[in-house]
A and B are shown apart, each in its own frame.
Chain A
């Protein structure tokens, strides 16, 4: 068994899992954080995207052992009891999600983008989402929502509800 200790959404968590367990399975089955999804299991669809040490990664392509000692942020770590994260807020206002399965992955990719690049161009947003497949929406509303979050951050006075 591999025993790993990580910081997940700001809390120290420990799990003991077979060595071949992916970070995705660990999050979903050991920690009950089912926001990250299994869409393909080979790093193509991005539904498993989480943020590790500040970088978005496919959690299906990391082994539990590789996550030992690392800082992990999942979709469950964005909102608080009082507030939605701005990306979640804008996704809701713009109607960016339909079936919702790709949602957590897309939102984590968006967060990773905005953390590094607070004012992304349309191209940069598309590039950041290139690793997240969505079969329902065509991405348009997601891109609008991300642009709105960026604008609101950069110009808080102009922030109005949609």
Chain B
């Protein structure tokens, strides 16, 4: 008997009481066998081309994705689970005068409400601990959470959030990073200074380099704030056990860091915090630090029930981290053959409302800002400043894409002005085997020249008449 007939017979023959469950099981979609992993593990020779290159890789998870069977956090449900929503400030800069949660608490279906005061240690962050779980005295950007509600349905939680009344003393927001850079601007984040990170790289003597240059070019470049827009919004689900340990299922990428931050904000030992990173629907850097995790943990503790919180799409834009906008000022001295003799760079990173991953971004941006070029005389000064805008944090590249846009555009502009082929301009300056990086690291396995030349051949750079500049 074939499977279909067999199943139809099973449904027909099943006693009435079990019909529902049998039918339910038959509805279950294909649970195909797992794709077998290769049994031999290839161990590459050190310092040799890894044999992984040019191998066909398999994604075993593709099967369950295609079946719609992959369970993301929003697909997870624990019995008795409550839904949490967070109230967002909606104002860029303010003092919180009072928060009245009484009407929300009284709503039928609302099980608990918390504010910043309920957070045992209300500061955290990957480097500077300047970010609150829920803002309790000061709002630094419109996406700041000021209160959170756990209710039996998501809609009730959202309705309750609207009933929370917050009294603000509105302060003038600072949105221009250059304004924040001026020391006269009142401290946005007192007692932290506006400029909350700086990195300076000095190599050689730029004044000497500029003096010896035939031409000096100056240009300023700006990039915009970018949001990761992972298809899956941020989400977490917390549940406590009888021994006072919390398990949090989360879209979080860096779970060891998350564990430390949850332990810190909840003032509990790390050994009592378990974070399970689930299959994530896109991260790109935006899910590198905790967002809702301490909130769901606290609400779950207060209510005695599992609590799940998912960001709405608007919250993804205002309350999750974004890519740093950069203001990049370049001054480059070159010989008439296009050899770079000196470069002076100032970077101003719009560091948003909280530090998040700004220090890492600052470091990368600064180190990479000179570009992959041999520059004997270099001064790169990079600053990150607070503004009352969406948090800026990690996003694919961590500062590298922004400066790349700047130094490559700059190279093209200079090549055009000097009437040198843009490719030639690169070849004359690019790092080589044994070159020193801006921070004087000796570089090996440098194949930029070879790659550029091969690439140029492949897409016919010279054949298209792209050789000579206009």
Q: How far is the CA of A20 from the CA of B29 in the complex (A)?
A: 29
Which residue of B27, B31, B72, B279 is within 8 Å of A37 (Cβ)? B72
| Chain A, 74-107, CB within 8 A of any chain B CB | 74-84, 87-88, 91-92, 95-104, 107
Task: Judge whether B59 is part of the interface by a CB distance below 8 angstroms.
Answer: yes
Q: How far is the CA of A102 from the CA of B70 in the complex (A)?
A: 11
Task: List, in ascending order, chain A residues with CB within 8 A of B63's CB.
Answer: 84, 88, 92
Chain A residue nearest to B63 in the complex (CB): A92
Task: List, in ascending order, chain A residues with CB within 8 A of B28's CB.
Answer: 81
Q: How far is the CA of A41 from the CA of B310 in the complex (A)?
A: 12
**Whole-angstrom distance between the Cβ of B25 and the nearest chain A Cβ:** 10
Give the interface centre of A91, A103, A133 by most chain B CB atoms within 10 Å.
Answer: A103
Which residue of A9, A35, A91, A98 is within 8 Å of B69 (Cβ)? A35
Task: List, in ascending order, chain A residues with CB within 8 A of B59's CB.
Answer: 95, 97-98
Residues A100 and B233 in contact, CB atoms below 8 Å apart: no
Which residue of B66, B68, B280 is within 8 Å of A34 (Cβ)? B68
Residues B231 and A91 in contact, CB atoms below 8 Å apart: no
Which residue of A42, A45, A75, A81 is within 8 Å of B68 (Cβ)? A75
Give the interface centre of B3, B28, B32, B57 by most chain A CB atoms within 10 Å.
Answer: B32
Residues A91 and B62 in contact, CB atoms below 8 Å apart: yes
Task: Judge whether A120 is part of the interface by a CB distance below 8 angstroms.
Answer: no
Residues A9 and B72 in contact, CB atoms below 8 Å apart: no
Q: How far is the CA of A33 from the CA of B27 in the complex (A)?
A: 10
Task: Judge whether A39 is part of the interface by a CB distance below 8 angstroms.
Answer: yes
Task: List, in ascending order, chain B residues with CB within 8 A of A130's CB.
Answer: none
Number of A-B contacts (CB under 8 A): 118
Q: How far is the CA of A42 from the CA of B313 in the complex (A)?
A: 9
Residues A84 and B27 in contact, CB atoms below 8 Å apart: no
Tally chain B residues at the interface, Cβ within 8 Å.
40
Q: How far is the CA of A81 from the CA of B33 in the complex (A)?
A: 11
Residues A101 and B232 in contact, CB atoms below 8 Å apart: yes
Which residue of A42, A47, A97, A101 is within 8 Å of B62 (Cβ)? A97
Give the interface centre of A11, A39, A42, A107 by most chain B CB atoms within 10 Å.
Answer: A39
Residues B231 and A135 in contact, CB atoms below 8 Å apart: yes
Task: List, in ascending order, chain A residues with CB within 8 A of B381's CB.
Answer: none
Task: List, in ascending order, chain B residues with CB within 8 A of A11's CB.
Answer: 23, 27
Task: List, in ascending order, chain B residues with CB within 8 A of A98's CB.
Answer: 59
**Whole-angstrom distance between the Cβ of B157 and the nearest chain A Cβ:** 14
Task: List, in ascending order, chain B residues with CB within 8 A of A37's CB.
Answer: 72, 74, 231-232, 281
Q: How far is the CA of A64 from the CA of B388 in the complex (A)?
A: 41
Residues B313 and A39 in contact, CB atoms below 8 Å apart: yes
Task: List, in ascending order, chain A residues with CB within 8 A of B27's CB.
Answer: 9, 11, 76
Task: Judge whether A152 is part of the interface by a CB distance below 8 angstroms.
Answer: no
Q: Mark A1-45, 1 if CB is under 8 A from B, else 0.
A: 000000001010000000010000000100001111111111001
Chain A residue nearest to B230 in the complex (CB): A135
Beyond A34-B71, A81-B3, A83-B30, whether A97 also contacts B281 by CB under 8 A is no
Task: Judge whether B184 is part of the interface by a CB distance below 8 angstroms.
Answer: no
Task: Judge whether A134 is part of the interface by a CB distance below 8 angstroms.
Answer: yes
**Whole-angstrom distance between the Cβ of A101 and the nearest chain B Cβ:** 3
Residues A99 and B30 in contact, CB atoms below 8 Å apart: no
Which residue of A74, A83, A87, A102 is within 8 Å of B231 (Cβ)? A102
Task: Judge whether B458 is part of the interface by a CB distance below 8 angstroms.
Answer: no
**Whole-angstrom distance between the Cβ of B160 and the nearest chain A Cβ:** 17
Chain A residue nearest to B154 in the complex (CB): A25
| Chain B, 384-417, CB within 8 A of any chain A CB | none
Q: How far is the CA of A88 from the CA of B3 in the complex (A)?
A: 21
Beyond A37-B72, A37-B232, A95-B59, whether A103 also contacts B29 by CB under 8 A is no
Task: Judge whether A136 is part of the interface by a CB distance below 8 angstroms.
Answer: yes
Residues A135 and B67 in contact, CB atoms below 8 Å apart: no
Beyond A11-B27, A134-B231, whether A99 also contacts B282 by CB under 8 A is yes
Chain B residue nearest to A83 in the complex (CB): B30
Residues B313 and A135 in contact, CB atoms below 8 Å apart: no
Chain B residue nearest to A135 in the complex (CB): B282
Q: What are some 27 contacts across the A-B interface (CB < 8 A)?
A: A11-B23, A28-B75, A34-B68, A34-B74, A35-B67, A38-B310, A41-B312, A42-B313, A76-B27, A76-B29, A76-B68, A79-B30, A80-B30, A81-B28, A84-B66, A84-B67, A95-B62, A96-B62, A97-B66, A100-B65, A100-B279, A100-B281, A101-B72, A103-B66, A103-B68, A136-B231, A136-B282
Other A-B pairs beyond A41-B313, A99-B282, 20, CB < 8 Å: A9-B27, A28-B75, A34-B71, A37-B281, A39-B313, A45-B231, A78-B29, A81-B30, A82-B3, A82-B30, A95-B58, A97-B65, A97-B66, A99-B230, A100-B61, A100-B70, A102-B231, A103-B68, A104-B68, A134-B231
Those 9 A-B pairs whose CB atoms lie nearest each other, nearest first: A35-B68, A100-B65, A101-B281, A75-B68, A79-B30, A34-B75, A88-B66, A101-B231, A104-B68
